[in-house]
Chain A
Amino acid sequence: MAADDDTKGLRKGRFAPYGLLSPGVIWLLLFFLVPVAILFKASLSTKPSRFATPTFDWAWGNYSSAFSQYGSVFVRSFVYAGTATVLAILIGYPLAYWIATRGGRWKNLLIGLVVVPFFTSYLIRTIAWSSILADENPLVTTLQQVFGSDFRILATPWAVIGGLTYNFMSFMILPIYVSLEKIDFRLTEAAADLGSTTWGAFRKVVLPLSLPGVFAGSLLVFIPAAGDYLNARYLGSPKTSMIGTVVQNKFLVQFDYPQAAALSIVLMVIITAMVLVYSKFLGTEGLAV
């Protein structure tokens, strides 16, 4: 009897993990896979006029035009997002390093400060930057005296890249900080004892150990940045439009659902491919810390 009860308990226990997983699985099915399927179907539909209902007819033309008409916008989006990611690493890493190694008892406060901008809406912050960088702003007029009167910041690619860098910076700093925080900095003493300089110890020990943070941060910055439209819209010009701007315009202004859907799918596929290549390249497996 007792043995019977035991095996029953075991059998029940075997299904417990699936039971616990099911809310997550149902969530994913309902709110991710189903919408993606709908999106995919829409991307292969035709919509003859602005207010007509799209009809599904394997319209692969939406995809060819995604490349032929918007190829350059895709390239621009990835270049901007990539540049913003690199800038975020260059600015965020030293900051995270400084907080992790020199923060002492102020660490938590300093990390809190990194998150403070999130208390204001993303949209408001971006609009605020557009007025700070505007041509008539004292900052820009002062710089015009140095660089000539046609110097401007707003509506240039650098304004968009700067906006992306600024808006996603926290997503870079936090994971890098977390991975640096886990590192036992006595390892640098061990390296020094073996004859290594401070820089050598950083390059061969600390940096490799913090790469998982850099990797996570890059994804968290690059992916949303590549699909972003707010920065391009408020800080850029039509010449600096990104793929997010186009998708938003197609969906909400022109009601061209099939084209917008095709662009979204292409963006998703390219980003996934890039992430896969990137993770192979940075090989996070060997870095079990």
Chain B
Amino acid sequence: MTTVRVEKIRKTYGDFVALEGLTLDMAEGEFVSFLGPSGCGKTTALRIVAGFEFADSGSVLIDGDEIGPVPPNRRNMGMVFQNYSLFPNMTAADNVAFGLRVRKQPAEKVRRRATEMLELVGLSGKEGNFPHQMSGGQQQRVALARALVNMPKALLLDEPLGALDLKLRQVMQLELKRIQREVGITFIFVTHDQEEALTMSDRIAVMTQGRTDQIGTPTEIYHRPATAFVAGFIGTANLLPVTVRGQEGDQVTVDGPGGRYFARAEGRTYQVGSSVTLMVRPERLVPSGAPLHGAAGGSIEATVTSLVFQGPVVRCQVQTAAGVDLVAHLGPEDDPSSLSVGSPVRMTWSIDGAYLVPEALDSGLAGVTQMEDDETGA
């Protein structure tokens, strides 16, 4: 059942279009992430659902009913702010109790609920602490408990883990999932960290420039990206501009730089001569001779430019004759020790290791998308 639905939302600030035709359904108890680069309108979308901003056109529906210009205090949405926004003049317990007191609940119930909620987020014993007496992670938990105390229709989280260090972020990711399972409320989670979105979400809405490029499960988004942007934004992808040569049933033949390749049609029909994008994930790209899972999908001549040991995999970067950089993640079965920097190599992939993105690729974007370095290095 759909709890929250946004329909064709358009929002402008002066001449600047922040959101354009945003449409999305969120089911009861679902964990949906808004994922996208900085400035793509994630916060704006969340604030429109919460009622802090109003859309220029389009509508927000809660439980199927369109809500007009209803202010936030009469919407029953829970919001967890990026900077937590805890009330500094109140203890953890009073922060959590705030929403109950506003609703004039009896004192006994307020105390019991606040204690319960703090227990749920693992903060028993910290009831009397003021925000400045708690760590970032603890403040985050208080913010969560505070937003959940009224059992909102949906919990809106705006990059709630952004301020935490990597270790704590991973702990809180698991905590958030556990809490969501326990309360069974729809979570709308804003992040620009693709790994976070992949691990936590039931569905991800990938946004760019005020619109959603793709909405789907993490698996769909990772394996069947709708656009080259999505392919590059989620994980690392090797992208090659290719031209369709023919289609026979489920198999599509394409021509690319350095050869003829094969891919699955995935139910789509391709026009001969149309430009599309071939995507191969780094874990599907192997040196020839290494075991291929399934029929061959293609191969390309290249030179090894770098080999970096990363623990479970060796990150192998190669450059094709056309000057396109590709990245492969090689496991032990791919025998990376046989490679050396500067030596020629033929990289291959299976037909199921490739995916056709039904969109032409800007030639400047050919090769590996560097999201991996940018994101995990930060």
Contact = CB atoms under 8 A, between A and B. Distances in A.
B89 A194 contact: no
Contact of B130 (A190, A194, A209, A288): A288
Interface in B216-256: none
Contacts of B52: 189, 192-193
Nearest to B76: A195
Contacts of A184: 83, 85
A112 interface: no
Nearest to B85: A190
Interface stretch (A101-109, A139-147, A200-208, A264-272): A200-208
Interface stretch (B96-104, B283-291, B293-301, B320-328): B96-104
A193, A195, A288: which has the most chain B beta carbons within 10 Å?
Answer: A193
Contact of B73 (A186, A195, A208, A287): A195
B89 A191 contact: no
- How large, as a class, is the contact surface on chain A? 20 to 34
A260 B142 CA distance: 58
Given A186-B81, A288-B132, A194 B98 contact: yes
Interface string A239-282: 00000000000000000000000000000000000000000000
A218 to B, nearest CB: 19
B188 interface: no
A196 B73 CA distance: 6
Given A204-B98, A288-B130, A193 B89 contact: no
B150 A187 contact: no
A189 B50 CA distance: 10
B79 A190 contact: yes
Contacts of B89: 205, 208-209, 286-287, 289
B88 A186 contact: no
Interface string B62-101: 0000000001111011110101011111000000001100
B147 A187 contact: no
A277 to B, nearest CB: 22
B146 interface: yes
A237 B166 CA distance: 72
Interface string A190-234: 111111110010001100110000000000000000000000000
A208 B77 CA distance: 25
Contact of B72 (A192, A204, A209): A192
B87 A193 contact: no
A256 B76 CA distance: 71
Given A189-B72, A200-B102, A204-B98, A194 B85 contact: no
A190 B50 contact: no
Interface in A151-201: 184, 186-187, 189-197, 200
B78 A193 contact: yes
Contacts of B103: 195
Nearest to A184: B85
B45 to A, nearest CB: 16
Nearest to A207: B89
A193 B88 contact: no
A190 B99 CA distance: 10
Contacts of B147: 193-194
A190 B73 CA distance: 10
B33 to A, nearest CB: 20
A193 B98 contact: no
A184 B52 CA distance: 16
A196 B71 CA distance: 10
Nearest to A189: B52
Given A204-B98, A287-B89, A194 B146 contact: yes
A209 B88 contact: yes
Contacts of A186: 81, 83, 85
A189 B130 contact: no
A187, A194, A209: which has the most chain B beta carbons within 10 Å?
Answer: A194
A208 B71 CA distance: 24
Interface string A123-149: 000000000000000000000000000
A250 to B, nearest CB: 46
Contacts of B50: 193
Contacts of A194: 73, 78, 98-99, 102, 146-147, 149-150
16 contacts: A186-B81, A189-B52, A190-B87, A191-B98, A193-B50, A193-B77, A193-B78, A194-B98, A194-B99, A194-B102, A194-B147, A195-B102, A195-B150, A208-B89, A288-B88, A289-B89
The 8 closest A-B pairs by CB, nearest first: A194-B99, A190-B85, A193-B79, A195-B102, A192-B72, A208-B89, A192-B73, A196-B102
Interface of B: 50, 52, 71-74, 76-79, 81, 83, 85-89, 98-99, 102-103, 130, 132, 146-147, 149-150
Given A193-B52, A208-B89, A286-B130, 8 more contacts: A187-B87, A189-B85, A193-B50, A193-B147, A194-B99, A194-B150, A195-B150, A289-B88
